Amino acid sequence: MNLGIYVQVPFCQTKCTYCNFHTGVFAKSLYEPYVDAICRELADRGALHRTAGLVCPDSPKSGHGFRPADESAHPTRPLARQGACEDAWSSAVVDTVYIGGGTPSLLDSAEIARILDRLRAEFTCRFEEVTLEADPETISAEKAAAWFAAGVNRISMGVQSFNDTELAAAGRAHRRADVFNASRLLREAGFAKISFDLIAGLPHQTAASWADSLEHLLRLRPEHASVYLMEIDEGSRLGREVLTGGSRYSASALPDDDAMASFYESGCARLAAEGYEHYEISNWGLPGFRSRHNLKYWRREPYLGIGAGAHSYDGRERWANAHDPAAYVAAIKKGVSPAEQREVVTPQQALEEELFLGLRQLEGIDLARIEKQYNAGLRSRVEALRQAGLVEFDGTRLRLSPARLTVANEVFVELLG
């Protein structure tokens, strides 16, 4: 069995105007203790994993509470056996790692190496894909070389736009020139897998500036691209300006929904024309370059999240760590579980996840398998959606109509009843 490990680094240089993630600008003095805590959590989870499979550390089924790192690294009493899948769990091989954030490229490169070394020490690893999220302005020749030497083999760059007016209005710290420079440095360091993120719907974005960003992306030809539709979160500074008015964050310069949808659709067309395979609503890859780690989320495969706010799923339960980095570090230091929320996934939730996550992939889902597994009758709803042109169904596979991806949420609502 393969396992993905996600490591969350919640530090950013500045707070983007549209962002409402649990990330922020923290004192650099927190970086090292935070990485210490990440390494201790890896040691604790590694010990649990080796002994009893991947289980939430404070779950009743784990047979014990979360113990201090040095104690749990050498469990002194046997853990209750978990069931048939346990042996598969304890022999699981970590094949994908994703270090995301936040802006993990802000960390000293030695800290990235320390995290990966700890991971190798605690788990059986055969790394196929090790991704690091990096913002363009944080990338130097030295850092790129050190990341590569540490075992990172894929960089996901937060480009968002190639237009300096849009970048400035969004509160991004980089400019277009930084993306060109960073791409060159990464290639020189040896990276053969680079992904760019773009956002469709930034303030001041126009059809012409969007087309220009797409063309710059295609010229640099990353192996993978993600295009996200701008989501206005009420908790972000931009979202509050949309609600209450003002001009500081350019809320009045936001493109409307129709414009945003047309940006996305033109992105689909241009990327397809240049050989990128559209495999998930927001993701494209050149052949052989899909994100193996992210596919685990959409396929409901197990992953272990390490760090503040990181989520985990073991095939039965989902849990999330404390969001606040200081609270997370304090919990780990005390040997207390940082997991704050834990829930067993009910059959109904599992069915909803199968549909919601599965249909994000353009290859769709095996409807017959899902109906049988969950004893669910979905055919009449599927037929209504098919007649409306929103989905395609060949008798086995159900998928979103490629031309109607921008209304995917409506399909999910209809399908889930």
Q: Which residues bind ligand SF4 (CB under 6 A)?
A: 12, 15-16, 19, 21, 23, 101-103, 158
Q: How far is the CB of 360 from ligand SF4 (least distance, A)?
A: 21
Q: How far is the CB of 23 from ligand SF4 (least distance, A)?
A: 4
User: What number of H helices and E strands is found in the chain?
Assistant: 16, 15
DSSP state of 136: G
Q: How far is the CB of 13 from ligand SF4 (least distance, A)?
A: 8
CA distance 47 to 175: 44
Nearer to ligand SF4, 238 or 365 (CB): 238
Instruction: Give CA separation, 381 vs 33, 118, 385, 393, 412, in Å.
Output: 52, 49, 6, 12, 11
Nearer to ligand SF4, 186 or 202 (CB): 202
Nearer to ligand SF4, 59 or 195 (CB): 195
Nearer to ligand SF4, 179 or 359 (CB): 179
Q: What is the DSSP string of 231-278?
A: ---TTSHHHHHHHH--STT-GGG---HHHHHHHHHHHHHHHHHTT-EE
Q: How far is the CB of 186 from ligand SF4 (least distance, A)?
A: 18
Q: What is the DSSP string of 29-64?
A: GGHHHHHHHHHHHHHHHHHHHHHH-S--TTSGGGSS
Nearer to ligand SF4, 81 or 248 (CB): 248
Q: How far is the CB of 156 from ligand SF4 (least distance, A)?
A: 11
CA distance 99 to 233: 24
CB 158 within 8 A of CB 173: no
Q: How far is the CB of 170 from ligand SF4 (least distance, A)?
A: 8
